[in-house]
Amino acid sequence: MDSDVIIIGAGAAGLMCGAVAGQNGASVILLDHAERAGEKIRISGGGRCNFTNLYCGPDNFISQNPHFAKSALSRYTQYDFLELVERYGIKWHEKTKGQLFCDGRSQEIIDMLLAECSTAGNEIRLGTQVLGVEKIGDGFVVTTPTQTLATRALVIACGGPSIPKMGATGYGYKVAEQFGLNVITPEPALVPLTFTDQLKEPIAALSGMSVDTVVSNERASFDEALLFTHRGLSGPAILQISSYWHSGEAITVNMAPGRDALAELKTAKLQTPKLSPEKWLMSHLPARLAAHLAAQFPFQRLADMPDRELINLALQISAWHIRPAGTEGYRKAEVTRGGVDTDELSSKTMESRKVAGLYFIGEVVDVTGHLGGHNFQWAWASGAACGDALAAQPISGARR
Protein backbone atom coordinates (compact mmCIF):
# COMPACT_ATOMS: atom_id res chain seq x y z
CA MET A 1 0.00 0.00 0.00
CA ASP A 2 1.18 3.54 -0.76
CA SER A 3 -0.96 4.96 2.03
CA ASP A 4 -3.75 4.10 4.44
CA VAL A 5 -5.94 6.79 2.96
CA ILE A 6 -6.16 8.63 -0.36
CA ILE A 7 -8.38 11.69 -0.40
CA ILE A 8 -9.44 13.05 -3.79
CA GLY A 9 -9.99 16.80 -3.32
CA ALA A 10 -7.87 19.12 -1.16
CA GLY A 11 -10.72 21.53 -0.45
CA ALA A 12 -12.45 22.31 2.84
CA ALA A 13 -13.66 18.78 3.65
CA GLY A 14 -10.61 16.96 2.28
CA LEU A 15 -8.09 19.07 4.22
CA MET A 16 -10.04 18.65 7.48
CA CYS A 17 -10.36 14.90 6.96
CA GLY A 18 -6.66 14.51 6.13
CA ALA A 19 -5.62 16.49 9.20
CA VAL A 20 -7.82 14.49 11.60
CA ALA A 21 -6.97 11.08 10.14
CA GLY A 22 -3.24 11.88 9.96
CA GLN A 23 -3.00 13.30 13.46
CA ASN A 24 -4.46 10.04 14.69
CA GLY A 25 -1.88 7.91 12.97
CA ALA A 26 -3.13 7.20 9.44
CA SER A 27 -0.86 7.87 6.48
CA VAL A 28 -2.72 10.17 4.08
CA ILE A 29 -2.19 11.32 0.50
CA LEU A 30 -4.39 14.15 -0.79
CA LEU A 31 -4.74 14.48 -4.57
CA ASP A 32 -6.13 17.56 -6.28
CA HIS A 33 -6.06 18.62 -9.91
CA ALA A 34 -5.97 22.31 -8.95
CA GLU A 35 -2.62 24.04 -8.54
CA ARG A 36 -3.61 25.36 -5.09
CA ALA A 37 -5.46 23.75 -2.19
CA GLY A 38 -8.72 25.22 -0.86
CA GLU A 39 -9.49 27.53 -3.77
CA LYS A 40 -13.16 27.90 -2.77
CA ILE A 41 -12.13 28.82 0.76
CA ARG A 42 -9.95 31.55 -0.74
CA ILE A 43 -12.80 33.19 -2.66
CA SER A 44 -15.43 32.55 0.01
CA GLY A 45 -17.20 35.25 2.01
CA GLY A 46 -15.98 37.98 -0.34
CA GLY A 47 -12.37 36.97 0.46
CA ARG A 48 -12.91 36.87 4.25
CA CYS A 49 -14.36 33.33 4.53
CA ASN A 50 -17.59 33.00 6.46
CA PHE A 51 -16.06 29.93 8.09
CA THR A 52 -18.94 28.88 10.37
CA ASN A 53 -22.15 30.02 12.02
CA LEU A 54 -22.81 30.29 15.75
CA TYR A 55 -26.38 29.01 15.28
CA CYS A 56 -25.54 26.15 12.92
CA GLY A 57 -27.80 23.14 13.41
CA PRO A 58 -29.54 20.42 11.37
CA ASP A 59 -32.37 22.81 10.40
CA ASN A 60 -29.87 24.79 8.33
CA PHE A 61 -29.46 21.95 5.85
CA ILE A 62 -31.41 20.55 2.90
CA SER A 63 -31.24 16.82 2.25
CA GLN A 64 -33.59 14.01 1.25
CA ASN A 65 -32.86 12.74 4.77
CA PRO A 66 -32.98 15.74 7.13
CA HIS A 67 -31.62 13.59 9.99
CA PHE A 68 -28.43 12.49 8.22
CA ALA A 69 -26.25 15.48 9.12
CA LYS A 70 -27.16 15.45 12.83
CA SER A 71 -24.52 12.98 14.01
CA ALA A 72 -21.51 14.63 12.34
CA LEU A 73 -22.70 18.16 13.20
CA SER A 74 -23.08 17.25 16.86
CA ARG A 75 -19.66 15.60 17.10
CA TYR A 76 -17.70 18.43 15.43
CA THR A 77 -19.49 21.69 16.17
CA GLN A 78 -19.01 25.33 15.20
CA TYR A 79 -17.32 25.80 18.60
CA ASP A 80 -14.77 23.10 17.77
CA PHE A 81 -13.84 24.92 14.58
CA LEU A 82 -13.79 28.26 16.37
CA GLU A 83 -11.43 26.78 18.97
CA LEU A 84 -9.08 25.75 16.13
CA VAL A 85 -9.29 29.22 14.56
CA GLU A 86 -8.45 30.85 17.89
CA ARG A 87 -5.60 28.41 18.54
CA TYR A 88 -4.01 29.76 15.33
CA GLY A 89 -4.55 33.35 16.46
CA ILE A 90 -6.85 34.12 13.54
CA LYS A 91 -8.90 37.22 14.30
CA TRP A 92 -12.61 36.98 13.52
CA HIS A 93 -15.87 38.83 13.90
CA GLU A 94 -19.59 38.10 13.80
CA LYS A 95 -21.22 39.92 10.91
CA THR A 96 -24.92 39.14 11.26
CA LYS A 97 -27.13 36.19 12.23
CA GLY A 98 -24.22 34.29 13.81
CA GLN A 99 -22.07 34.42 10.66
CA LEU A 100 -18.36 34.34 11.58
CA PHE A 101 -15.82 35.89 9.21
CA CYS A 102 -12.04 36.39 9.32
CA ASP A 103 -10.99 39.97 10.09
CA GLY A 104 -8.21 39.39 7.56
CA ARG A 105 -8.12 37.23 4.43
CA SER A 106 -9.57 33.73 3.82
CA GLN A 107 -6.02 32.58 3.13
CA GLU A 108 -5.53 32.43 6.92
CA ILE A 109 -8.04 29.56 7.11
CA ILE A 110 -6.29 27.74 4.25
CA ASP A 111 -2.89 28.23 5.90
CA MET A 112 -4.31 26.92 9.19
CA LEU A 113 -5.67 23.77 7.50
CA LEU A 114 -2.42 23.23 5.59
CA ALA A 115 -0.48 23.55 8.86
CA GLU A 116 -2.80 20.97 10.45
CA CYS A 117 -2.23 18.63 7.49
CA SER A 118 1.52 19.18 7.74
CA THR A 119 1.52 18.35 11.48
CA ALA A 120 -0.44 15.24 10.55
CA GLY A 121 2.23 14.21 8.03
CA ASN A 122 -0.18 14.39 5.10
CA GLU A 123 1.28 14.41 1.61
CA ILE A 124 -0.58 16.86 -0.63
CA ARG A 125 -0.12 16.40 -4.37
CA LEU A 126 -1.54 19.34 -6.30
CA GLY A 127 -1.86 19.66 -10.07
CA THR A 128 -2.56 15.92 -10.13
CA GLN A 129 -5.23 14.59 -12.44
CA VAL A 130 -7.09 11.48 -11.33
CA LEU A 131 -7.62 9.24 -14.34
CA GLY A 132 -9.60 6.57 -12.54
CA VAL A 133 -10.21 4.59 -9.37
CA GLU A 134 -10.76 0.86 -8.95
CA LYS A 135 -11.52 -1.48 -6.07
CA ILE A 136 -8.93 -4.22 -5.83
CA GLY A 137 -9.18 -6.75 -3.01
CA ASP A 138 -9.52 -4.98 0.35
CA GLY A 139 -8.33 -1.65 -1.01
CA PHE A 140 -8.39 0.71 -3.98
CA VAL A 141 -6.10 1.71 -6.80
CA VAL A 142 -6.01 5.34 -7.94
CA THR A 143 -4.46 6.08 -11.32
CA THR A 144 -2.83 9.42 -12.12
CA PRO A 145 -0.96 10.25 -15.36
CA THR A 146 2.35 9.26 -13.75
CA GLN A 147 1.51 6.69 -11.08
CA THR A 148 -0.76 4.00 -9.81
CA LEU A 149 -1.33 4.39 -6.08
CA ALA A 150 -2.68 1.67 -3.80
CA THR A 151 -4.65 2.59 -0.68
CA ARG A 152 -6.72 0.94 1.99
CA ALA A 153 -9.39 3.65 2.13
CA LEU A 154 -10.56 6.09 -0.52
CA VAL A 155 -12.24 9.39 0.39
CA ILE A 156 -14.09 11.38 -2.25
CA ALA A 157 -14.00 15.05 -1.28
CA CYS A 158 -14.19 16.73 -4.67
CA GLY A 159 -17.18 18.97 -3.95
CA GLY A 160 -19.86 19.84 -6.49
CA PRO A 161 -19.72 21.41 -9.97
CA SER A 162 -20.51 24.98 -8.88
CA ILE A 163 -18.01 27.55 -10.28
CA PRO A 164 -16.33 25.26 -12.85
CA LYS A 165 -13.69 27.89 -13.66
CA MET A 166 -12.25 27.22 -10.17
CA GLY A 167 -11.68 23.55 -10.98
CA ALA A 168 -15.05 22.33 -9.69
CA THR A 169 -16.26 19.11 -11.29
CA GLY A 170 -18.92 16.46 -10.86
CA TYR A 171 -16.23 13.79 -10.62
CA GLY A 172 -17.45 12.62 -7.19
CA TYR A 173 -20.84 11.68 -8.67
CA LYS A 174 -19.06 9.68 -11.39
CA VAL A 175 -17.18 7.67 -8.75
CA ALA A 176 -20.42 7.12 -6.80
CA GLU A 177 -22.18 5.84 -9.91
CA GLN A 178 -19.19 3.67 -10.85
CA PHE A 179 -19.67 1.84 -7.53
CA GLY A 180 -23.46 1.60 -7.94
CA LEU A 181 -24.38 4.35 -5.43
CA ASN A 182 -27.47 6.45 -6.05
CA VAL A 183 -26.95 10.17 -6.72
CA ILE A 184 -29.77 12.68 -6.08
CA THR A 185 -29.89 14.89 -9.20
CA PRO A 186 -27.45 17.78 -8.62
CA GLU A 187 -28.70 21.33 -9.23
CA PRO A 188 -27.25 24.81 -8.73
CA ALA A 189 -28.18 26.29 -5.33
CA LEU A 190 -27.52 29.57 -3.49
CA VAL A 191 -27.74 31.09 -6.94
CA PRO A 192 -29.28 34.29 -8.41
CA LEU A 193 -32.64 33.90 -10.19
CA THR A 194 -33.20 35.19 -13.72
CA PHE A 195 -36.23 36.55 -15.57
CA THR A 196 -37.02 36.54 -19.29
CA ASP A 197 -40.66 37.66 -19.33
CA GLN A 198 -42.14 41.18 -19.04
CA LEU A 199 -40.43 41.50 -15.65
CA LYS A 200 -36.92 41.40 -17.11
CA GLU A 201 -36.77 45.06 -18.17
CA PRO A 202 -38.34 46.65 -15.06
CA ILE A 203 -36.13 44.53 -12.80
CA ALA A 204 -33.03 45.49 -14.81
CA ALA A 205 -34.03 49.15 -14.51
CA LEU A 206 -33.86 48.76 -10.71
CA SER A 207 -30.43 47.10 -10.87
CA GLY A 208 -28.20 47.80 -7.87
CA MET A 209 -31.10 48.48 -5.48
CA SER A 210 -31.37 46.51 -2.25
CA VAL A 211 -34.48 46.12 -0.06
CA ASP A 212 -35.25 44.25 3.15
CA THR A 213 -37.68 41.47 2.36
CA VAL A 214 -39.20 38.20 3.37
CA VAL A 215 -38.96 35.89 0.35
CA SER A 216 -40.91 32.65 0.51
CA ASN A 217 -42.40 29.66 -1.27
CA GLU A 218 -44.36 26.72 0.08
CA ARG A 219 -41.19 25.12 1.47
CA ALA A 220 -39.25 27.93 3.10
CA SER A 221 -39.14 31.60 4.01
CA PHE A 222 -36.16 33.93 4.48
CA ASP A 223 -36.03 37.32 6.14
CA GLU A 224 -33.04 38.92 4.37
CA ALA A 225 -32.06 41.56 1.83
CA LEU A 226 -32.98 41.28 -1.85
CA LEU A 227 -30.86 42.80 -4.61
CA PHE A 228 -32.09 43.79 -8.08
CA THR A 229 -29.56 42.95 -10.79
CA HIS A 230 -29.42 43.60 -14.52
CA ARG A 231 -30.39 39.94 -15.14
CA GLY A 232 -32.81 39.29 -12.30
CA LEU A 233 -32.79 39.03 -8.52
CA SER A 234 -30.01 38.20 -6.09
CA GLY A 235 -28.98 39.06 -2.52
CA PRO A 236 -29.16 36.76 0.51
CA ALA A 237 -32.97 36.31 0.46
CA ILE A 238 -32.97 35.17 -3.17
CA LEU A 239 -29.86 32.96 -2.82
CA GLN A 240 -31.50 31.23 0.16
CA ILE A 241 -34.85 30.63 -1.55
CA SER A 242 -33.10 29.42 -4.73
CA SER A 243 -32.00 26.32 -2.81
CA TYR A 244 -35.70 25.49 -2.32
CA TRP A 245 -36.88 26.59 -5.78
CA HIS A 246 -37.74 24.23 -8.63
CA SER A 247 -38.04 25.22 -12.26
CA GLY A 248 -41.44 26.67 -13.19
CA GLU A 249 -42.44 27.57 -9.63
CA ALA A 250 -43.33 31.03 -8.29
CA ILE A 251 -41.90 32.83 -5.26
CA THR A 252 -43.45 35.57 -3.12
CA VAL A 253 -41.58 38.71 -2.14
CA ASN A 254 -42.74 40.79 0.82
CA MET A 255 -41.08 44.23 0.73
CA ALA A 256 -42.89 45.33 3.90
CA PRO A 257 -41.79 42.65 6.35
CA GLY A 258 -43.48 42.80 9.74
CA ARG A 259 -45.90 45.50 8.60
CA ASP A 260 -49.54 45.58 7.47
CA ALA A 261 -49.22 47.55 4.22
CA LEU A 262 -52.98 47.70 3.57
CA ALA A 263 -53.80 48.98 7.06
CA GLU A 264 -51.04 51.61 6.73
CA LEU A 265 -52.35 52.69 3.31
CA LYS A 266 -55.91 53.00 4.61
CA THR A 267 -54.72 55.09 7.55
CA ALA A 268 -52.63 57.28 5.25
CA LYS A 269 -55.63 57.79 2.95
CA LEU A 270 -57.63 59.07 5.94
CA GLN A 271 -54.89 61.13 7.57
CA THR A 272 -53.01 62.46 4.52
CA PRO A 273 -55.49 62.20 1.62
CA LYS A 274 -53.54 64.61 -0.58
CA LEU A 275 -50.35 62.50 -0.46
CA SER A 276 -49.49 60.86 -3.80
CA PRO A 277 -49.06 57.05 -3.89
CA GLU A 278 -45.41 57.62 -4.97
CA LYS A 279 -44.67 59.87 -1.97
CA TRP A 280 -46.26 57.32 0.37
CA LEU A 281 -44.18 54.53 -1.18
CA MET A 282 -41.02 56.66 -0.91
CA SER A 283 -41.36 56.76 2.85
CA HIS A 284 -41.05 52.95 2.91
CA LEU A 285 -38.96 51.97 -0.14
CA PRO A 286 -36.01 53.34 -2.16
CA ALA A 287 -37.09 56.20 -4.44
CA ARG A 288 -36.49 54.41 -7.77
CA LEU A 289 -38.48 51.38 -6.64
CA ALA A 290 -41.24 53.61 -5.30
CA ALA A 291 -41.45 55.43 -8.65
CA HIS A 292 -41.58 52.13 -10.54
CA LEU A 293 -44.42 50.78 -8.39
CA ALA A 294 -46.33 54.06 -8.37
CA ALA A 295 -46.26 54.18 -12.18
CA GLN A 296 -48.65 51.21 -12.14
CA PHE A 297 -51.16 53.26 -10.12
CA PRO A 298 -51.91 56.48 -12.05
CA PHE A 299 -53.58 58.37 -9.20
CA GLN A 300 -52.56 61.87 -8.06
CA ARG A 301 -53.67 61.39 -4.44
CA LEU A 302 -54.37 58.53 -2.06
CA ALA A 303 -57.84 60.03 -1.69
CA ASP A 304 -58.53 59.17 -5.35
CA MET A 305 -57.71 55.49 -4.88
CA PRO A 306 -60.67 53.17 -4.36
CA ASP A 307 -60.16 50.38 -1.79
CA ARG A 308 -59.67 47.89 -4.65
CA GLU A 309 -56.59 49.83 -5.79
CA LEU A 310 -55.27 50.19 -2.24
CA ILE A 311 -55.47 46.39 -1.94
CA ASN A 312 -53.62 45.96 -5.27
CA LEU A 313 -50.90 48.37 -4.18
CA ALA A 314 -50.56 46.66 -0.80
CA LEU A 315 -50.26 43.29 -2.56
CA GLN A 316 -47.55 44.67 -4.89
CA ILE A 317 -45.51 45.56 -1.82
CA SER A 318 -46.24 42.72 0.55
CA ALA A 319 -47.04 39.76 -1.70
CA TRP A 320 -45.26 40.27 -5.03
CA HIS A 321 -45.84 36.94 -6.73
CA ILE A 322 -43.24 36.27 -9.43
CA ARG A 323 -42.15 33.32 -11.53
CA PRO A 324 -38.40 33.22 -12.26
CA ALA A 325 -37.38 31.86 -15.67
CA GLY A 326 -34.33 30.09 -14.28
CA THR A 327 -31.10 30.50 -12.36
CA GLU A 328 -27.64 31.79 -13.24
CA GLY A 329 -26.54 28.14 -13.14
CA TYR A 330 -23.31 26.58 -11.90
CA ARG A 331 -21.36 29.59 -13.20
CA LYS A 332 -22.69 31.66 -10.27
CA ALA A 333 -23.99 29.04 -7.80
CA GLU A 334 -22.27 29.00 -4.40
CA VAL A 335 -23.15 25.35 -3.88
CA THR A 336 -24.74 22.32 -5.48
CA ARG A 337 -27.99 20.88 -4.14
CA GLY A 338 -28.33 17.06 -4.32
CA GLY A 339 -25.39 14.68 -4.59
CA VAL A 340 -24.53 11.25 -3.21
CA ASP A 341 -27.70 9.85 -1.63
CA THR A 342 -27.29 9.82 2.15
CA ASP A 343 -29.12 6.47 2.28
CA GLU A 344 -25.94 5.05 0.75
CA LEU A 345 -23.70 6.34 3.57
CA SER A 346 -23.16 5.84 7.29
CA SER A 347 -24.05 9.10 9.06
CA LYS A 348 -21.40 8.32 11.69
CA THR A 349 -18.41 7.67 9.40
CA MET A 350 -19.50 8.79 5.88
CA GLU A 351 -18.49 5.33 4.62
CA SER A 352 -20.47 3.74 1.80
CA ARG A 353 -22.84 1.04 3.03
CA LYS A 354 -22.21 -0.94 -0.18
CA VAL A 355 -18.46 -0.53 -0.67
CA ALA A 356 -16.24 -0.96 2.40
CA GLY A 357 -13.43 1.59 2.57
CA LEU A 358 -15.11 4.14 0.24
CA TYR A 359 -16.11 7.46 1.86
CA PHE A 360 -17.85 10.64 0.64
CA ILE A 361 -17.59 13.97 2.51
CA GLY A 362 -18.46 17.63 2.03
CA GLU A 363 -20.51 19.10 -0.76
CA VAL A 364 -20.48 15.95 -2.91
CA VAL A 365 -22.97 14.46 -0.41
CA ASP A 366 -26.69 15.31 -0.58
CA VAL A 367 -26.41 17.79 2.32
CA THR A 368 -26.69 21.46 1.33
CA GLY A 369 -26.36 24.27 3.84
CA HIS A 370 -28.10 27.60 4.03
CA LEU A 371 -26.11 30.73 3.31
CA GLY A 372 -24.07 31.97 6.26
CA GLY A 373 -21.19 29.59 7.02
CA HIS A 374 -23.26 26.40 7.21
CA ASN A 375 -21.70 24.82 4.12
CA PHE A 376 -18.22 25.09 5.56
CA GLN A 377 -19.45 23.74 8.90
CA TRP A 378 -20.75 20.68 7.02
CA ALA A 379 -17.38 20.32 5.26
CA TRP A 380 -15.53 20.50 8.62
CA ALA A 381 -17.98 18.19 10.44
CA SER A 382 -18.24 15.51 7.73
CA GLY A 383 -14.46 15.69 7.17
CA ALA A 384 -13.79 15.26 10.90
CA ALA A 385 -16.31 12.38 11.20
CA CYS A 386 -14.60 10.55 8.35
CA GLY A 387 -11.10 11.39 9.63
CA ASP A 388 -12.00 9.99 13.06
CA ALA A 389 -13.33 6.78 11.52
CA LEU A 390 -10.21 6.31 9.40
CA ALA A 391 -7.95 6.91 12.39
CA ALA A 392 -9.90 4.41 14.46
CA GLN A 393 -9.14 1.61 12.02
CA PRO A 394 -6.00 -0.54 12.39
CA ILE A 395 -3.15 0.89 10.36
CA SER A 396 -2.00 -1.22 7.43
CA GLY A 397 1.61 -1.68 6.37
CA ALA A 398 1.48 1.53 4.39
CA ARG A 399 4.66 3.42 3.54
CA ARG A 400 4.98 6.35 6.00
Query: In the complex, which residues of this chain contact ligand FAD (CB under 6 A)?
Result: 8-14, 31-34, 39-40, 43-45, 49-50, 130, 157-159, 162-163, 167-169, 171, 334-335, 362-364, 373-376, 379
Cβ 131 to ligand FAD shortest distance, Å: 10
Whether 93 contacts 103, CB under 8 Å: yes
- Identify which of residues 99 and 318 has a Cβ nearer to ligand FAD in the complex: 99
Cβ 118 to ligand FAD shortest distance, Å: 17
Cβ 61 to ligand FAD shortest distance, Å: 11
Dist. CA 329–CA 337, nearest whole Å? 12
Dist. CA 15–CA 143, nearest whole Å? 21
- Identify which of residues 8 and 120 has a Cβ nearer to ligand FAD in the complex: 8
Cβ 113 to ligand FAD shortest distance, Å: 10
- Identify which of residues 264 and 363 has a Cβ nearer to ligand FAD in the complex: 363
Whether 41 contacts 12, CB under 8 Å: yes
Inter-CA distances, 358 with 46, 107, 131, 139, 354, Å? 34, 30, 17, 9, 9
The vertex-74 CA angle with 123 and 184, nearest 5°, equals 75
Dist. CA 256–CA 260, nearest whole Å? 8
Dihedral angle computed from the Cα positions of residues 118, 119, 123 and 129, in that order, rounded to the nearest 10 degrees: -50
Whether 347 contacts 70, CB under 8 Å: yes
- Identify which of residues 9 and 192 has a Cβ nearer to ligand FAD in the complex: 9
Cβ 282 to ligand FAD shortest distance, Å: 35
Which residues, listed in sequence order, are joined to residue 29 by a DSSP beta bridge? 6, 123
Cβ 361 to ligand FAD shortest distance, Å: 7
Cβ 139 to ligand FAD shortest distance, Å: 19
Dist. CA 267–CA 279, nearest whole Å? 15
- Identify which of residues 323 and 331 has a Cβ nearer to ligand FAD in the complex: 331
Burial of 193 (0-12, 13-18, 19+ CB in 10 A): buried
- Identify which of residues 162 and 242 has a Cβ nearer to ligand FAD in the complex: 162
Cβ 99 to ligand FAD shortest distance, Å: 8
Ramachandran region, residue 248 (left: φ > 0; alpha: ψ -120 to 50; beta: rest): left
Buried (b) or exposed (e) across 87-98, using 16+ Cβ within 10 A? eeebebeeeeeb
- Identify which of residues 71 and 276 has a Cβ nearer to ligand FAD in the complex: 71
Burial of 250 (0-12, 13-18, 19+ CB in 10 A): exposed
Closest residue by beta carbon to ligand FAD? 11
- Identify which of residues 264 and 341 has a Cβ nearer to ligand FAD in the complex: 341
Cβ 358 to ligand FAD shortest distance, Å: 16
- Identify which of residues 42 and 279 has a Cβ nearer to ligand FAD in the complex: 42
Q: Are strands 148-156 and 3-8 parallel, antiparallel or unpaired?
A: parallel
Cβ 24 to ligand FAD shortest distance, Å: 20
- Identify which of residues 33 and 292 has a Cβ nearer to ligand FAD in the complex: 33
Dist. CA 11–CA 144, nearest whole Å? 19
Q: Helix count (H) and strand count (E) of the chain?
A: 13, 21
The vertex-379 CA angle with 377 and 380, nearest 5°, equals 65
